[in-house]
Structure 1
Amino acid sequence: MHWPAHYPSECPPSDAKFAEGSFFRLTQRQAPKDKDFYSQYAIEKKRVELNKAPQMRGAMDTCLARGLSVFRSVEECVKARKKVASLRRKKGVVRVDASPNQDGLVKNTPGRSSEYHYTWWVPENVDLVSKCVCHKEELEKQEESYA
């Protein structure tokens, strides 16, 4: 696998596993676009380039900032949205089915949003949008059950 040039050495970490099976990601829209799969590092870098931020924040230098935040179920996405204010703006949730040995590496990285949070490091030239299945109805149903 070829990793993006901006990944620091030792990224992804040596204890990350091949991504396989289904992962769920909160997205800005119901029909996801490439930018729904930008890492926090990529988002922050773009803000600096557009002069919307004076500099990169310190945490953006980490390996975790280069990966994508994903969960193993829609239910975990809903729980995370309720706990983290910035996730409440996300309007969609998609399932991405990872192909073993092809779509990158993942590691369980629990945090304040969920103990089931994973970080997914995606190699260059992997098109996650084409692998997406929208779960709008399931997201709405899960949110109703937690209301």
Structure 2
Amino acid sequence: MPRSWPEHFPAGCPPEESELATGRIYRFVSGEAPTHDDFVSLQLENPTNSYGRMACQACGLSVFRDWAVCLYSQKVVPALKKKKIAFGDLTPDHGAVMPTPSKMTERHHTWWLPDTVDAPEDLFIIAEDNG
């Protein structure tokens, strides 16, 4: 596991049970191409919020492992309806991933990026079939 995590990550984050980031993941993005703004964690967007027991998860990014789950989520989560789905193929150098089920979908994952990944948007492209 990468040992160089951003300073704003709380102790023990990412969790010990997370796995090295490998394989394809999907992320919702706002425009026609992924931008750096699409890969900013809740913690960095709102640094004064403590997030309580969700602090570690707030330092990561919401991702999915399954295309069909993305399409389903896009239909049932109003905030995702106008988003595009991008995908990237990760290697262990890209951090850690762990299932983090949510109210809306049990197949949600969180991806924690090490501080060595400067431009995660460069790892992703917009999927051609975007629902």
TM-score, scaled relative to structure 1: 0.79
Aligned to 1:129: 121
Q: 1:81 to 1:60 in 2, by over 3 A?
A: farther
TM-score, scaled relative to structure 2: 0.88
Kindly provide the CA deviation profile for residues 59-99 of structure 1, in whole angstroms up to 9, marking residues without a partner as x: 58610100110001232112122222222342x11111101
Q: Which runs of 5+ in 2 are unaligned?
A: none
Of residues 97, 109, 115, the one that matches 2:106 is 115
Aligned mates of 2:93, 2:32 — CA distance in 1: 26
Deviation at 1:40, TM superposition (A): 1.2
Q: How many residues align?
A: 128
| 2:93 aligned counterpart, secondary structure | coil
Indicate the structure with greater strand content.
2
Q: List, as ranges, runs of 4+ consecutive aligned residues in structure 1 with deviation greater than 6 Å.
A: none
Of residues 6, 9, 27, the one that matches 2:8 is 6
Deviation at 1:112, TM superposition (A): 1.7
User: Conserved in 2, the CA contact under 8 Å of 1:74 and 1:138?
Assistant: no
Of residues 65, 76, 81, the one that matches 1:83 is 76
Kindly provide the CA deviation profile for residues 100-119 of structure 1, in whole angstroms up to 9, marking residues without a partner as x: x2010010111122121110
User: Conserved in 1, the CA contact under 8 Å of 2:34 and 2:125?
Assistant: no
Indicate the structure with greater helix content.
1
Larger Rg: 1
Matches within 5 A, 1:7-86: 7-45=9-47, 55-56=48-49, 58-59=51-52, 62-86=55-79
* Identity value in percent: 32
Q: 1:116 to 1:61 in 2, by over 3 A?
A: closer
RMSD value over aligned CA atoms? 1.8
